[in-house]
Amino acid sequence: MTSAHSALSVFVTGTDTEIGKTFVSSALLRGFVREGLQAAAMKPIAAGAFVLNGELHNEDADQLDAASNVLLPPEMRTPYLLKEPAAPHIAAALENVAFDIEHIVACHRQALTRADVVVEGVGGFRVPLTATRDTADLAVALKLPVVLVVGMRLGCINHALLTAEAIAARGLTLAGWVANRVDPNMTFPDENIASIREHLAREHHAPLLGIVPHLSPASAEVASERLDIQRLLQTLRDAQR
């Protein structure tokens, strides 16, 4: 059991969808566990659910649970679980669901009484949730440092720098970024990583927390060994002071 004051938490966002945000979040959870933390996952909004043994499941949420050593009740881990695998505001409209960011914040507050929490956002940083609010508003409401997952593929430098700028514009701390090698055939990956690293260090003082190779089969455990978990935890502790 951990107190809400000392529990650590981080918000994981990505440069786009399908860039390995859940995979890197799972790797962070494995790293937290390895460092002796009580680690739990939140995926506040998940679109694309299926029924298994009479219960709604989501592949991403299940992956995150598998990497955790504390399991939150499903309604706390994923307050909004939608069936349609579409952009959240579209899926929500189809299912007549209204996202309440304050409800997610309350669930997160409860989660912090049980564990250190990795919160995985939905899609990229500015994915709309309602007509007026987006994922960035959720990160702000949670008041969490952000880890940016950059899917290493053509166009990633622009995506990374724009997202980092959007994070800073909301007054949030970019705790670091992870280069995830989603495209094994990408040309000049090292040069791309070096460019992003230089820009994000200079403009946002955000360190590269690690480079996750293209793993087949995917292994959150192996990926976690490529991440500087101790550095991230120190940043999260400093942010609490």
According to DSSP, the β-strands at 80-82 and 45-47 are parallel
Pure H helices in 55-145: 59-67, 74-77, 88-94, 101-111, 135-142
Is 83 one of the annotated active-site residues of the chain?
no
Q: Is the dihedral of CA 228, 230, 231, 236 positive or negative?
A: positive
Q: What angle do CA 50, 142, 172 make, to 5 degrees?
A: 120
* Residue 75 and residue 103 in contact, taking contact as beta carbons nearer than 8 Å: no
What are the DSSP E strand ranges found in 181-235? 208-212
Query: Active site residue: 21, 43, 83, 143, which one?
Result: 43
For residue 150, which of 199, 107, 105 has the smallest C-alpha distance? 199
Spatial distance between the Cα atoms of 24 and 13, rounded to a whole number of angstroms: 10
Spatial distance between the Cα atoms of 21 and 35, rounded to a whole number of angstroms: 21
Spatial distance between the Cα atoms of 165 and 203, rounded to a whole number of angstroms: 9
For residue 181, which of 152, 154, 156, 210 has the smallest C-alpha distance? 152
Q: Catalytic residue positions? A: 43
